[in-house]
Structure formats: C-alpha cells, structure tokens
Structure 1
C-alpha cells in the first residue's frame, strides 16, 4: 500500500496502526493538500458481501457525525478489492500510549478526558450510533489536548457479522460490558460501561479484570466484583469513584441511563461540595443473576392416612367379592426388587472403587522450566510425572534464544495431579526476509518498497557515488546486498545511488587560442568537438570568445564534447581612429596632472582608463579609438582631479575625415565658480559639461556647464540630459 494512490487523490505515505479488522495508513490528499488517515479493510473480509455492505452503511452513518471530539470521516471508497475509509488525521498519541507512559493520571486530567469521550458518545447515541469498542487505543489525544474518539462506523458491522459467522464475540475483552460478553444485544449503556473501565485504568494504571485467557476475563465481567479504585489510588475523590462504580454496574439498569446523564456527573464530580460525598450504594438483592444460598426443599413423608387408605381399599375389595391375591405372588415381586437393588449396589460399589483407584493420583509440584531448552524442560517435567503437551507451540520471542522455553501454562510451584499435561511455548529463530534487488529503481521507489517490508524510514540511508554504468539518481546496489537475508525490524539499510559519471569543473577557455583551448580540454579529459568564428570588438583575433555548452566551473562529465568560438577580429565595418586631445597646465610654469577616460565600440560604452600624464606645457595626447556605425567614441578629460572636458567622436565624421579638432585650452582660464566634481556618464556621448564640443560657439547655462556646438553649426543641447548631470 505504501506509495499507492487511492481514488486518484490519496497518496499513501506510511502505516501508522492497525487492528483485527483494518490497517491504518497516513496519506496525503493531493486535491486538498492535507494529511488524512485511511483505514483499509483487511483482505480476509473483502469477499464477505454482507460485511462490506454493512461496513459502507455504518461508515456513511458515522460520516454524519459532526462533533469536535469525534474523528471526522471524509470519504468512503473502493478500488478493486480495497475497501477504505478516509478520515481526519490527528497529530498526537492515543490514550493507551499515555497510560503506559504516565499512569495513574492526575484526577482532573482523567476526568477532563473522560468528559470529552462522554460528550462524543452522547452525540453519537443521539444519532443512533453505538460505538461498541470504547478503549484507550481508540481515543486520540491531539497536541492541543483535544480528545478525539475514532473507529465509529465499523464497530456495529463487526459485532453483527462476525458473531454470525464464527459464533464468537469480537471486541476488546478487557473493556467488554457483561451483556457484550454474553453475546446479547448491546446498546448505549454498554459504551458507558467501557468508558467506566477506561476511567478506572486512567486513575489506577491497571485494568479491573485480568485473566489467563479472554474467556476467563469475560467470565469475570459476568461474575466477579472488581477491586474498588480508591483502594489502589487513595487520591481519587469519592465523587469520582462513585462515577466509576455506577458506570460499571453489571446490571445495565443500575448504570447511567444515558451518556448525557454521565457527562453531567463527570462535569460536577470535582466540585468542592461533592469531593467528600458518601460512597454510592446499590441494591444487590434485585439482581436475579447474583449467586445466593437458598434453603433445601425437604421431602414429604407418608403418614398413617396413606396406610389407612390402603386398608379401606382392601375392605372395599372384600365387600365387592374380589378374591384375595395369591400368596405366591405376594412375595415374588418384593424378592425380585430386592435382588435387583443388591445387584445394582454391588455394581456401583465396583465402579466407585475403580474410579477411586484411577483418580487417587498423588499431587506433584510444577517445576519452573522457563529459560530451559525444550529437551531439558521435557526431562524436568517427566522427572516429576508431568507430560509435555504435544504439539509444542513454536513462537519467536526476541528475549529468548532459539529452542528455549519462554512460557508454560502451569505456574511454577503450583500443585497438580501426576500425569497432568503442561503446554510449553518455545522460542524459534527469528524469521528473516530476503533483500530485494533494488538496482535500476529510484531512491524514493526503493524506500517505499523497503518500508512496505517493515523497515523503518529512519533506518534507510542514502550513499551517493559516481558510476560509469548507472545514470544519475538510479540505485546501484544495497547493503545488505540483494538476495541476502536480513531482519526488517532491526536492519539498517544503505541504498547506494548513482551520481552519474565522475564530474570535473569546466575550465575557462575565454581569451585562449585554439591550440591552448584544445590542450586544456584534453588535460581535463574533455573533447574539442567544433570550432566556430565570429567577429568581436573586445577579443583579439584568434582568441576564444565563447565556450558551449558549459561555462566556467560548471560540472562536466569526462568525455563531454565542447564547442568553442574564435574571434575573427574587428568586423569589416569597424574603424580605428586616433583622436588627439589638446591639454595644457592650469597655470603657466606649473605642472598639471591630466587624466583621460574613454569609451568606444570595444567595451559597449563602458568607461576605460586611457591613463594619466603630468604636463608642464600645452601639448596633444593621442587616444586610439575603435568606432562602429552604431558605436561612437567618447573622451573625457580631467585636470588636477577636476573634470575639464568631454569630446564625442562620431563614426560618420571619422569615416569621412570630418572630425573637428578641439581648440587647446587657455592656460589662464579661471575655473568656474560652480562646476560639478564628477563628469557626466560617458555612456551618453551627447552630454558635454564644461567646454564640450570640438569648436564652435559656447555659452554657460545656470548649472555652470559650458555648452558648445559640435562644430557643425548645431547647438549641443544634450549637456543637461546626460548621465552625470
């Protein structure tokens, strides 16, 4: 079932419980994106049409229950031979686990839990649904403390069908009501009896009736009185004990008449005025089933009247002339009766003597044969005259070695008759499973298959390794290996999964020549598959501009084929142009530091440092540019750290030889009072702060920028629009 998708929407994740009738799984509702619990009917019931019909009907009835203390039923369905009920998934523990961990519970906590259970039962009884299997295992306690009663719906189908088929009563014998144990019709008061036992167990940590077999426990429900809870736990208030005593009366008429009545008693039993109330008393004389001592019935003796009547009969016969009986017949009949009586007495005496001889067997003490081997136990029992019952029960027990007795049906040191049969249970070797071959499966599929065999998910680990033969994500092998024996309950399974072929980091081939790239690829176990060409402004001719399909540091499997692209140099339309920048010192006779920044087609408009020169006189500095039809050049000049000028060199002007030459700066020209400390962005070549242009008229706007024409008579009005303004 693990990994199976029921109804096209419920993805089964793991098994979380189960009982005699069904198995319970945690699943994910794909449609509503929530976790649910799915109860699946066991295989032995899937062909019983009557059971399936009632199963569905009762499950649908339970789905009508809407109560905060009842586990909600969402869906009922069938897929081939799988009959299932989808219900609310409760995060937490069941009450049985809590009792084992912490019993006896605090009185107020136990009463609070019992009140919520009783509230759920009251709602169910109002809807004509009897639970019939109230026990701690069916009570879920959520992380928020909310009590949820589960297993509504199938209880009635189980009790009505299986009794007819097997002649036995189905349920949890320790929580049976007396009428349930008798196999008669159960009703609302049977649920209240079971709830009383649950409250008893919460407050004492023990069950009221225990026995060596289910039958003996059922008989105790019918015949014996339980030990009062306050004798086991003196901290229980009398008012709370009274609730238990009343709910667990053997006569249903003496119990609470409804769950609502019991709920009211639970809600008030811890009030200060009730804690010290008197112990509840019940009239046992009204119980007709109770064992009593009655006086024996004495026989009536024959008196004189009977003898006199006989005389009258004889006188009547004489008067009527009836002849007297023959004297011979008078003594034959008594003699025959006496003889037969003596013969019968002799026969009975012989039988008594024979039986006495047979049953007059000496008593022996049963030895303790637990922890002995079967051979030693058989000898020990035989030595005292006891017989090992055949066949011996063989059953695995993790606490005992193979062939060692771990249970005997006669208690050690008990007195029995010689020749008594003693039943022994002997431990067998643990049954192991064969590890399946999981190779070629994915890791998730391997985990699902192992969990279906009983391996806990936390004992399954993944080990990823490189493999030349298995693709990435596929199982290579397992430890233990396939077809070996292992114990699903204890074994730790390592699933070895392929990471694919061993990978290396892709080397950086950009800027390398073809021969250099090929050598690097071969050194790393890669193959140069193809060489392409393309023009480039930024990469020198014959150098790698691109590598495909992997970039630098990508993980690559050995033997992969790589394609590179080589630069053919500048494209045909590219134009190399040298622009001479006139510069001068700030003051005559003093040195100035000149810094030049440029951009052109080689760097897609990004700024590049040309360099810095220290000058003491007026001169020209040459800047080599590469221009393209859609990529002009821009040169910016700084003097002693201050921005001075930006020049734009248009591709068309350079191609036609009409680039205007800029005028040399005037050495004594004062620096404007207000000027920006940073140049405008050179990726907008039209921005020309301070003396931008290559000749022509100029002026100063309100920002202090010098606006020049571009030498062709047009005013450059982009100075204020560019970046850096």
Structure 2
C-alpha cells in the first residue's frame, strides 16, 4: 500500500497503526494538500457482505458527527477490494501509549481527558450512535492536548460471523461491560462502563480485571469485584473514586444515566468541597431462597409432613430447626429459684474474669492514620503516636510532581483497623535521578544538541548565543553552562537550561581587491576569508573582460570585513549589445616613392584614447587595417604619423559605420625622386623662366620642394610649374 494513490487522490505515505479489523495509514490528500488518516478494511473481511454493508452504514453515521473531541470523517469509498474510510489525521499519541509511558497519570490530567471523552460520547449518544469499543487505543491526544475519540461505528459493524475472529474481541475484552460480555444488547451505559475502566487504568496503571483468556476476563466482568482505585493509588481523591465506582456498576441501572450526567460529575469532582466527600455505597443484591425442609410426624399411623419456614440461604448451609407437632409429649422443667440465682452469679463472676484477662493480655486495635503527603519525619512521628511501628525497609523511589522526602504511599490505607504495634511500611519520594552533562566544547551546534537530547534535555531548554573568537572556528561551541570539563557534572534535564556560546570566527579580516578576478576565483577567496558570497550582478563593460569582477561591495579593498557577512560582486557581461567592431583601412605612403618611411598609427575608440596601432616601415603606398570598437557615444579617430611627424587624421562616426557610409579616404601618391640637374647654355636675356601653375602651393610645407624641376604636388592640391635651372 505504501506509495499507492488511492482513488487517484490519496497518496499512502506510511502505516501508523492497525487493529483486528483494519489497518491505518497516513496519507496525503493531493487535492486539498493536507495529511489524512485512512483506515483500510483487512482482506479477510472484504467478502463478508453483511460486514461491509454495516461498515459503510456506520461510517456514514459517524461522518454525521461534528464535535471538537471526535475525529472527523472526510470520505468513505471502495477501490477494487479495498474498502476504506478517510478521516482527520491527528498529530500526537494514543492514550494507550501515554499510559504505558507514564501511568499513573496526575489526577487532574486523567479527569480532564475523561471529561473530554464524555463530551464526545454525549454528542454521539444524542445522534443515536453507540461507540461500543471505548478503550485507550481509540483515544488520540493531539500535541495541543485536545482529546479525539476515533473508531465511532466500527465496533457496531461486528457481526456474529466475525465476533470470534482473532483480535475482534480479544483486543477489547478488558473494557467490555457486563452486558456486552453476556452478548445482550448494549446501549449508552455500556460506553460509560468502558470509560470508567479507562479512567481506572489512567489513575492506577493497571486494568481492573485480568485473566488467562478472553473468556475468563469476560466472566470476571460478570461475577467478580475489582480492587478499589484508592487501594491501588491512595493519591486518588474520594470524589474521583466515586465516579469510577458508579460508572463500573455491574447493574446498568446503578450507573450514570447519561454521558452528560457523568461529565458534570467529572467537571466538579476536583473542587475543594468535593475532594473528600463520603465514599459512595450501593445496596448489594440479595437473592436468597426460602427453604422448607420436611418434618416427619405421626398421625393416625401415617407419615405426614409439616413445612416450617427456614431463612437459610440458597445453598442450604443453615440447618432448619425441627418443631414438634400436635400429639408430641411435652417435657416440663422445674428448677428451684436458688439454683437459677446461683448460676447467674457464677456467670457474672466468669464474665468479669474474662474482661480482666482481656484487658491484661489482649492487644488493642488502633486505626491507621493517613500520613500520605507528609514528610518522612512527620509520618514516623504520627504513626508512633498512634501506637504503630514504622518498618526499617522504606521504599524510596522518584515520583514526578512529589517533593523529595514526602510520603506518597503507606502499606495500610487510612482508617484500617490494626493491632497496636503493627508495622507500617512507607514509600517515600526520592530525589530525581540526574543525568551526566556531556562536554560539547569544540563541537558543532548540531552535534551538541544531539548529545544533550540523548541526556534528556529538550530543545527548548537549550539556549544559544554567538560571539567572535580568534581561536575557535566559526560554528563550533566556545563554552557551555553548566560547565563540564570532565563530562561528569550531574544535572536535572527537566529543570536545567543549558547555555551554549557558538563561535562566529574571527571578528574582522582585511578585504582583498577582487576586481579583475574571474567570478569563481573571487567567490573562492570570499569563502576563504570567512565571508559569504552575496548577490552577484552583471553589467556590460568596454574595459573589463567578460566574466571578470568589475566592482565589489560593501567591503572595499583593504577595508576590515566582518566574517560571516555577505560580500557582493558585479561581474562584466562583456561589451554592450549595441557596440560593434569596425575595421577601417588607413592609406599610407612614403615621403618619397621608393624611399623608406616609418609609419606610426594612434587611434581612439570605445576601449580608450591614444591606443597604439600597428606600426610599419614602408617604401610604397599601402593600406593598414585598424580595428575599432564603436558605440553610440563612442566614435573612432585615427591619427597617422610619418617619420615622427603628424601626417593625417581620419574620423569614423558610429552612425556612418553602422549604416556603411564611412567615406573612403583618397590615396595621396608619394613624391617622385629627384632627377639630376642638366646644364643648358644661358639664354640671351639671362632671366629666369616664369612658371605657370594651377592650384595652391603651400610654401611653408616642409615636404614642398620648390627647387624640384618638373611637376610638383602639394599636400592639398596639384600644381604644374617649372623650377629654376641651375
């Protein structure tokens, strides 16, 4: 069944109980997302149609009950051969487990539990539902102390075909009412009889009737009397004992007439005015038979019999007196008055002697006083004053709720008549056995809590605090109170609060510069410093490689950081998505064609200003590619240097590069090498030729060679002219 999904709704988690007729599982209601308890009919009953019919009918009747002390019924159904009832899941223990663990219970606790059971029975009886199987196993106690009665209606489903099945009767026979044991119809008062037994067991830690077989126990319910509760546990008030005695009368008419009546009695029984009320007594049934023995007489030669009346019991133990009949001879006695008087005098003297002897030799009877709840010294003094002797063998045992040295039981109960000088044994509450305090210093908090729990300390009695410590690693125990350097200190786990001081590690550490590290390197270093990794954000960057730390906070480099706190990081996600790379080809030419010139390129873009580009030595015109990273607010610029002097500058805008409209630079040809000068005969006028040219010529351009003959090209234009002949 574990893991099975019943009816497509209830997932079976674990088995939590079971009885003679059914098994109980904890399940999860998938639809409502809550835990429920599911009672599943045992397989040996699934073919008993009469049982199944009554099982369903009674389960439906129980579902009609709505009361805080009744386990609610949610659903009844069948899946193949599985007949089940879905009910409220109660987190806690059943009363049988509590009785086994710590009975006898305190009187007020037992009365409170019985009162809530009574309230549930009263509600059920008003709805014409008789439980018929009230026992500790069917009483659940939640963690909040609320009592829940379960199994309403299941006992009524037992038929003649199942009454002898193993567990159907045996499990409950100790709680049967006499009428239930006889097999006759049971009613509300039968439930109250069973409740009386439950109350008896809670207060005495034992059942009123025990036997070697279920039949012998059932017969005891019918025929025998039980030990009165106060004989077993003298701490029970008389008012509470009276409730048990009345609810467990064998004659139903002498019990409480309703659950409401019993509940009212329970609610008032612990009032100071009632605790020591007189003991409840009942008239015993007298079922005697009048016996008429035969008396032999003579009349006219025949045997006649008269029938005198006898008051002997039904067993005929008393012998009837024979009375003579008519016709018998009468004897007459005649005694002188003297002899009668003498006999009377003799008897009087004899009686006086007997009284005198008794006074000298017969030990007088004395009542036993109540010494329970007295200190041992007070109890001894009280018993000795009453003429009794206290046994040297005092029973010493720890009793919860009773102070050390207080008498909680005496061998003869209060009011018993014993001979003067009789021995009384006392039971005195001893000191509570103490636990050994474990040494938890230098252990983790979880290890320390486990060791303390093993010694009986509940978690709410463990108090923790934290402080920095340079010598003890974070998370380990620095000190404990009470101290236990040798692991041998004794303490009371129910009274002692254990204080643990947990180390937070070193108080501060200098924070390192994490920028430029990869994310994994930075996180590892944070942990090594005793801090925790906090939030890790990402943001784009033109200058920091993707995956490396850009910023750190709240602890900056060289700032004292508190161990255990969080250190946050910002990591580069790379270039912004709108940025892109663009390659610009820069035309360069030597100063003079064929001669070597040294070219240097400096560029600026989104990655920074004045970045060094590729440098070359050229002797002819070339194109040098420059890779630029451009962004909406980051244009590019390229500056060309030839032989150490600025030669030209180019600008690349983001929008032109994005749209493909960057102007293509013109290639400026280099100057032609000089032609050797030719000597011509001087002209007649001896003057100079005037040159004719087009365009502008920059006379200040250091690259302009006006003395060159032929064609000359300026920086910003072309010109034709003639040079001087030398």
Normalising to structure 2: TM-score of the pair?
0.45
Which has more radius of gyration?
2
Structure with the bigger percentage of helix: 1
